[in-house]
Amino acid sequence: MGLAEQAGYVNDIQFYSLSDGPGIRTTVFLKGCLLNCRWCHNPEGNRRFPEVFPYQNNCTGCGLCLEVCPAGAIEMAEPCRPRIRRERCIDCFRCAEACPEQAMIVWGRLMTVQEVMEEVERDKAFYKHSGGGMTVSGGEPLAQPGFTRSLFAAARERGINTALDTCGFAPWEVLARVLEVTDYVLLDIKHMDPEAHRRHCGASNETILENARRMAERGVPMRLRLPLIPGFNDGEENLRRSAEFVRELEERGRELEVDILPYHPYAGAKYRVFGLDYPLPQGEGYPEERLRGIVEIFTARGLTVTVGG
């Protein structure tokens, strides 16, 4: 099989992205994630394969989805509020085919490298003039490492800059293969304590931190992203340890930039539309004064920080 025919599961393609790496970029969101973060804003991207989600804002309560489902996986406890019982769903997608209002949406489709690159190349002129390119995100790109590497190899052949937006949770051998064709890395650092990371993200952070150290030692161009989650990683002790970790990485390699990404409550509304329960309490976000104090923890150590990506 040639490079162009290799295929993977794509969740979405976003054009004219300004926060997923240098310049103007096209971001390819792949299906599948290696972690299970409680606050995840994109639950439709967690599983590797296509799956159906209700879009309750479009539902008129006609009940066709219930009638055609062979597994009895759909419930309508409230009018126009369908919910899917995942343990019963067999991913036949008959509900999506039958719904006249597009209130059942299939997320994820199998695409070849060639098909993805045809989309990405549409904005090639923007990349050239802005220093942009293609970013592969997710989900988690390293959940489909072979496909991610093939996308980057194809982009390199076309003179398109490549950026990897990753949680870093993968064996080094897997990550290193992708890095061979990667120009830039956006790496999430969610918590410095391995047990807290395990409780809230589904796995320890040890592999992530070690991969960050190895990338720093090899001089990989890298930007660290710190999502701020109330009650999880926004305590002063964890922020201090996070800043000191960034300093450690800089001592191993090149100067790094840090993005502080404040939690926002929009995900709760998305979960409700999908008929899901959001596991975190809905807050109002961070006041400016609090954010300034958090930024100072990093700038006091000589680090370059932006807020919001």
pLDDT value of position 55: 93
| Burial bucket for residue 173 (CB in 10 Å: 0-12, 13-18, 19+) | exposed
* Residues lower than pLDDT 70 in the chain: 1, 4, 283, 309
Q: What pLDDT is recorded for position 214?
A: 98
Write out the two tokens for 123: 């904005």
Q: 114: exposed, middle or buried (C-beta count within 10 Å: 0-12, 13-18, 19+)?
A: middle
Contacts of 177 (CB under 8 A, 6+ apart): 145, 149
At 1 the pLDDT is 66
- The pLDDT value recorded for residue 273 is 85
Hey, CA dihedral for 51, 56, 60, 62, is it positive or negative?
positive
| Whole-model pTM over 0.85 | yes
Tell whether the torsion through CA atoms of 164, 305, 35 and 106 is positive or negative: negative
Cβ count within 10 A of residue 45: 24
Amino acid occupying residue 128: K
Q: Alpha carbon 205 to chain centroid distance?
A: 17
Domains of the chain: 3-46+109-307 (3.20.20.70), 51-107 (3.30.70.20)
Burial grade of 93 (CB within 10 A; 0-12, 13-18, 19 or more): middle
Q: Which residue is it, tokens 């990349």?
A: 127
Q: Which pLDDT score, from 0 to 100, does residue 87 have?
A: 95
CA dihedral 299, 300, 303, 307 (to 10 degrees): -20
The residue to which tokens 């990989």 are assigned: 220
Closest to 176 (Cα-Cα) out of 155, 145, 207: 145
Could you tell me where the DSSP H helices lie in the chain?
64-68, 94-98, 113-120, 124-130, 145-157, 172-179, 194-201, 206-217, 236-252, 266-273, 288-299
Identify the DSSP state of 150: H
- What is the predicted pLDDT for the residue at 70? 98
Amino acid 279: pLDDT: 81
